[in-house]
Structure 1
Amino acid sequence: MAKSEAGAQAPRTAEGQQGGANQVMARELGWYASFSVAFGFVSIATGIFTAYGSVLATSGPRGIWAWPISVIGQLCVALVFGALAARIPISGYSYQWVSRIVGPVWGWIMGWISFAFLGVVVVAVDYTIASTILPELFQYVGTTQNAWVITAGVVLLQALLVAASTRITHKVNSAAVTAQLIGMITLTALLFAVGYFTGKLDFAHLFDTATIPESGYYGLGGGTHAGPFALAFLLGAFTIVGFESAANLAEETKNPARVIPKAMVQAVLSLGVLGFLFLVAVTAAVGRVDGAAESATPVATVITAVLGSVVGKSLLVLVVVSIFSCGLVITLSGTRLVYAMSRDERFPGWRLLKRIHPRTATPLNATVFMMLIAQIVLAVFSRSTDALFQLFSAATLLPAVIYAGTVAMYAAKRSSLPPSRGFSLGRWEVPVLLLAGVWLVYELLIFRDASFRGPWAYVLVLCGIGAVYLAALLVRRGRAALTMPDMADVDRALDNATAPSAADTEGALR
């Protein structure tokens, strides 16, 4: 990576020098590619198919009304992240931002938590294919054993694609996102139309609590449990995450300071609207589809019951493609984070993980490493009878911690930040920060519920491992070895790298 493109990250050793063609990742991504990364990571198909059954069990059908509130909260977070991405368009997103604005130790902590999140969320996403969709699609009994084998194969295939070529990965993802947009819009429209004409829609069911008592439904809960409606927020909190993955590919994006914030915000808005319409259609049908509420795969059961076996299964194939692309983007984002931290010589095994393969022009070693981490996480969780719940809970807790830390950092340092080149919150900055802060505090409080002990254990173990490595790093090399360029240096160094040329502007609009 040339010095100007790397955000003035001065190499400290001969091994850390980034000169040479084999260290460059080309800027070749335009707006749609950036939007596809953000949209593909979030993937409403993934989130809803994974977590909808838990919402029915803990909150009843009425729980879907927590979705619009979650969308507003996550949109405020995306706006804050857009303001940061416009100032520091470098691979590594929160790790880079916090390192430069607060300090390298805090940045390292944020980077490690982000690594822990990406390691578990790719397994949660891929496990959804094996445990909720394929059994319905091919009519077989899903078990923890076959779910493990299938998920391991999907994780491996995604890693192979990411390692082979960034361009091919983005082509696959863009095609999958296009298929997801078309498929989810078609699926939602058909559920409304066919469900209405066949009498399988009951809109009164949208306000039903089913087996959940009305008393205390909206209550805050106690010291070790959250109220029924509060638990419903986890559907949106789990689904609408990862939009910041577009910022993790900033060094490969044309005119990133303008393109990336726009892509993130548009992804959250489009997913929020389409996701809610889909939830309304599915929930209106659940009450009139025999066994749907008790099904282990309620969304898939409703789709095949309302649309018929042939049409329903055809659309389920599109959902599998959508979820696969989500895992693909997560793998891509994880490798870029490991690469960015290794390039700065502060990740375990950085000498190997910072290398760009001369033929593929991808961080091959970092990709293999992320694949192995995902396989280990899968092995840890896969023997649990409620593995999917544990995985999606851990994959919701970790980004909430990342978002809260990053938003708090922005709020504390916003007066000292230099002007943005491509995106600014302007007079809306304070209201957006307040809404984002309130939302994130509320979301984190939900995880006091005793059902989240497993996810907390995962977080604590990973943080413990990270703390040991960080302590060893500081003892061996000292705090000075973690020095990062300050914001002024970053902005000066990025002047040429991010200034929109005519060619870049034209490419970013494609």
Structure 2
Amino acid sequence: MTDSSTSPGDGRVTEFGYTQSLERSTGRFASFAVAFAFVSIATGIFTTYGSVLTSSGPMGIWTWPIVIVGQLAVALLIGSLAARIPVTGYAYQWVSRLANPVLGWITGWISFTFLAIVVVAVDYTVAATVVPALFDFTGTPATAFLITAGILVLQGLLVGLSTKWTERVNNFAVTAELIGMVALVVLLFIVGVIAHKLSVGNLFSRGAIPADGYWSFGTATSAGPWMLGFLLGAFTIVGFESAANLAEETKKPEIVVPRAMWQAVLASGVLGFLFLLVVTAAVNDPAALAQSGTPIADIIRDILGSFVGTALLVLVAIAIFACGLVILMSGVRLVWAMSRDQRFPGWQALHKISPRFKTPLNATVTMTVISAVILGLFSTSTDALFKLFSAATLLPAIIYAITVALYIATRRKLPPSKGFTLGRWETPVLVVAVLWLVFVLSLFRDASFRDPWLYAVVMVALGAVYLCYLLVTRGRHGLKMPEMSSIDAEFEDAA
């Protein structure tokens, strides 16, 4: 039943053929916090900084500003779609309605495979890098598996039992992350200057990476050293569109969600780059640090000492926990949205909203279990963290490319947005987004990404089997989306 207590701008779900079944209580800060928490510069930098030192050296951090420009362009375009179709399911909904349900289902399945693995990658960061640094022990694949599994279960309980408490925890964690990252930047800079431990020369050092071919674009099966540095930002600045996956729970989503996206990218980009600059300047021996499993934690403790360093690492752990929490919640909403349309395996149970908790409880349990299985498959590897974050970088790039291509194909016939528009900036933003996505996808030709591609292929193949089953049993007409009455009307008016 549609919630009649919502304001006129909040009841748009009925325009897309659905009834309001989720509580619409998410406000502006909570929407921003969802997008910011998913991006989580603390998570991305703690996870990938060591890999960048190994592949690109300290100078690899200068790829970050380029990533921000590219991802900001993508966020602006996606925000334009989110303002027009503010329905849970984000890319699955947009592509299904503006292209066709088959391509939309494929996009939704790829989004699901991304969310299922990225929550593992994020939680594994706590287990593999932060917890060992906090409790001063050497982690093993076994300890990382157990800690990550425990974190997944706790996140699943929160998401499944209370959306309100999930948002409260996330709001607190985002506030802690903002305070913690700003404090880290300021303290590392001040203490580093006083102790003469900052070196501007580090910012332009290649570390142990040979000069020969450093700036090369690479070959047909490998990317050049500096080019691999782009993965630092490409892994971190993703997931901002998660705010759109809570559109049916957000007040005035056509206004709030697009703003949450671009603000999260911009805030994360600026704060993250300041942190990278001061951390890299504080590196004592880049070549030696590249061999550490916890390079960021090592730098913090070296400059700030064990007490302050430990306190700030606790804040980082909270931020990373919230990142995984938001990812799991976004994945649950996607599974629920596809199940509501009767096109996700087990939809008969997964589309239900718990009458007691007012959450998609069955979808939460399923998403948590699937992520735990993925954790088990990857955790036996000695370089599990690299494989996880590589797969979690590849898949969103594919999703963004599909969405931007759709935007290009349909933008001339899209109805006017009620909340967000690019106006005359649309064309230049499109150009930047396309150039960026073509470039970032080209990086994954490197042979080191064989396992992430294998994961993507296997998951897509599994999805293809189920899609064929849907097409055989229902036909293309059976996958038709509920009517978009408001958009259809505007198409007719425009004609």
Question: Which category of TM-score, normalised to the shorter sequence, fits these structures?
Answer: over 0.9
Query: Counterparts of 1:97-496 in structure 2 under 5 Å?
Result: 97-287=94-284, 291-485=288-482, 487-490=484-487
1:338-359 deviation line (CA, Å, top 9, x unaligned):
0000000100000100000001
Deviation of 1:10 after TM superposition, in Å, equals: 4.5
8 Å contact from structure 2 (residues 17, 483) kept in 1: no
2: CA distance between counterparts of 1:85 and 1:148? 36
**Matched-pair contact (CA < 8 Å) for 1:7–1:490:** no
- What residue identity is the alignment partner of 1:335? V
Checking the alignment, whether the CA contact within 8 Å between 2:188 and 2:300 is kept in structure 1 is yes
Residue in structure 2 matched with residue 497 of structure 1 by the alignment: none
Mapped to 2, the partners of 1:379 and 1:122 lie a distance apart of: 13
CA contact (8 A) 1:37 1:245 kept: yes
Cα distance in 1, alignment partners of residues 333 and 158 from structure 2: 14
> Structure 1 residue 451: deviation in Å?
0.2
Q: Judging changes above 3 Å, is the alpha-carbon distance between structure 1 residues 112 and 214 closer, same or farther for their aligned structure 2 residues?
A: same
Between the aligned partners of 2:267 and 2:284, the Cα distance in structure 1 is: 27
CA deviation after TM superposition for structure 1 residue 492, in Å: 6.5
Q: Partners in 2 of 1:409 and 1:449 — Cα distance?
A: 27
**Partner-residue secondary structure (3-state), 2:223:** coil
Amino acid at match of 2:42: A
Q: Residue 125 of structure 1: SS of its match in structure 2?
A: helix
Residues 315 and 85 (structure 1 numbering): CA distance in 2 closer, same or farther, change over 3 Å? Answer: same
CA contact (8 A) 2:198 2:281 kept: yes
Structure-1 separation of matches of 2:484 and 2:238: 26
For residue 169 of structure 1, report the CA deviation from its aligned partner.
0.4
Between the aligned partners of 1:390 and 1:337, the Cα distance in structure 2 is 24
- Does structure 2 conserve the Cα–Cα contact (< 8 Å) formed by 1:25 and 1:251? yes
Aligned counterparts of 1:183 and 1:212: Cα–Cα separation in 2: 32
> What is the CA-CA distance between 1:287 and the residue it aligns to?
2.8
Deviations 1:306-348 (A, max 9, x none): 1000000000000000000000000110000000000001000
Give, in angstroms, the shift of residue 486 of structure 1: 5.5
Q: CA RMSD in A?
A: 1.5
SS at match of 2:385: helix
Query: How far off its partner does 1:289 sit?
Result: 8.3
Take 1:369 and 1:10, find their aligned partners in 2: how far apart are those partners? Answer: 26
* Alignment partner, residue 505 of structure 1: none
**Alpha carbons of structure 1 residues 478 and 365: separation in structure 2 relative to 1, 3 Å:** same
Q: 1:86 is matched with which residue?
A: 83
Q: What's the CA shift for 1:489?
A: 3.9
Separation in 2, partners of 1:323, 1:156: 15
Q: 4+ runs of 1 displaced by more than 2 Å? A: 1-11, 287-294, 485-493
1:26-45 alignment runs, 5 A limit:
26-45=23-42
Q: Counterpart amino acid of 1:369?
A: T
- Which deviations, in whole Å up to 9, do the C-alpha atoms of 1:400-449 show, x marking residues without a partner? 00000000000111001000000001111111011101100100000000
**Aligned with 1:308: secondary structure?**
helix
Measure, in 2, the Cα distance between the counterparts of 1:363 and 1:272.
33
Deviations 1:252-281 (A, max 9, x none): 111110111111111100000000000011
Distance in 2 separating the partners of 1:350 and 1:147: 32
CA distance in 1, matches of 2:478, 2:132: 51
1:370-395 deviation per Cα after TM superposition (whole angstroms, max 9, x unaligned)? 00010011001000000000000000
Q: TM-score, normalised by structure 2?
A: 0.95
Give 2:72's aligned residue: 75
8 Å contact 1:33–1:170 — kept in the other structure? yes
Q: How many residues align?
A: 483
**For the residues of structure 1 that align with 2:204 and 2:312, how far apart are their CA atoms?**
27
User: For residues 441 and 192 of structure 2, what CA distance do their matches in structure 1 show?
Assistant: 37
Q: Distance in 2 between matches of 1:289 and 1:233?
A: 18
Q: Matches of 2:37 and 2:457 in 1, distance apart?
A: 29
> SS at the partner of 1:286?
coil
Question: For the residues of structure 2 that align with 1:138 and 1:287, how far apart are their CA atoms?
Answer: 23
Question: What amino acid is the match of 2:39?
Answer: V
Q: Which runs of 5+ in 2 are unaligned?
A: 4-10, 491-495
